[in-house]
Amino acid sequence: MKPAAVHARLTSFLPPTPHPPPSSSLSTSFRLNYWKWRCCASSIESETSDSSSRTDSSGVFPPWFSVAPMMDWTDNHYRTLARLISKHACLYTEMVVAETIVHQQDNLDRFLAFSPKQHPIVLQIGGSNLKNLAKATQLANTYNYDEINLNCGCPSGRVAGHGCFGARLMFDPKFVGEAMSTIARNCDVPVSVKCRIGVDNCDSYNELCEFVDVVASNSPTRHFVIHARKALLNGLSPADNRRIPPLKYEYYYALLRDFPDIKFTINGGITSIDQVNAARRQGADAVMVGRAAYNNPWSTLGHVDTTIYGAQSTRFSRRQVLQQFQIYGDSLLLENDEKRKPNIRQLVKPLLNLFHSEPGNGLWKRKADTALRNCKTIELFLKETLPAIPDHVLDSTILKTPDSSSCSDDFADVLQLLPPPYTNSKQKINSCLM
């Protein structure tokens, strides 16, 4: 390969410079269409539609499937791997605190830079100080994210307690509306909120509706990501908060009924493409998957483009994906700036689940642990570890759709469980006067 071609291939994976140039016409087109999807209230198309009906004239896919923001997990390296497997999944960053952005203005690339190949990508921001949220949004806006999302759902004590944001913000929807207006004024992309269905004892459907109603009435927010569990701020760890509070998918589907002009993404407890399809068959606007997309990226993300979007399979094998990731990783390890150069363990971390449940997976992980002690490049790491994986696993591609013989029934009866329709305060007053 000629040097120029090698350089072009390498730089295509690299993050942008600290102050990226204005978006290209293609990027602008993408962002406008993304905005159009977020703001429009049309229902999603039937799952049986062909691929040509799933895009608009520009070829842009709606974000029907997204990977959840996960602290210490959905970093640049994981998102690079995810995009190599799925071309159309919407990717969220891990949460970045507004104060971090404001106080790290000389080091913003570390927190905000990403390859243009990662579009569509949403920045999740955390914070409760309006001034810092405004400044952080201004700084982030130059990086050309497709949407900015405010974290109103994290139950971590570090976030909801000491920082007084995350899930605790749900106690003050009027402030969240003000915060969303502040964020929207300082960026030129759509804004959204990720929240729980409730917090502590404030967990009725009507209280969730009040939160959505007040935020939407006091800001341009027209997209909410709903984690269908409430958050318990005292006594439960973040991990326990993801499994102990019961899932109430009926709250999500009731929101679709009561707020037809708002888009809602369902999140929580969804671990397979089969469940994603089940949720969409019942009318979900969009579905967000978290740990399954990280713990089993090949089987989860590998079916997104074909099954969710009706696009043709890339027919990439794991070996080919790893070859591309090697280009990305080793280009970063050649970085002269020690502050920007990642640790090889950070780079390899998202790869360790690529062979989930496959023959050789246990041996691969043991070899990886040994290789990380002495390997200085991804190329050497792969050379030492991949012999643990049979060739038929490395070279097979995802061609068939998931087995539908055991279709998920998680959403089969959900429409029969909906709570009574929401009546806001103004409607209650008017009904009393009649």
Catalytic residue positions, numbered: 154
Judged by phi (left if over 0) then psi (alpha if -120 to 50, else beta), residue 357 lies in left
d(CA 314, CA 341): 31
The answer to whether the beta carbons of residues 212 and 196 sit under 8 Å apart is no
Q: What's the angle, vertex CA 335, arms to CA 139 and CA 5, rounded to 5?
A: 100
Residue for token digits 């009561």? 258
d(CA 131, CA 106): 19
Question: What DSSP element (H or E) covers 38?
Answer: helix 25-39
Q: Taking the mean position of all CA atoms in its chain, how far away is CA 222? A: 17
Reference 77, options 286, 352, 385, 383; nearest CA is 352
Relative to beta strand 96-97, strand 286-289 is: unpaired
Here the tokens at position 17 are 């410079």
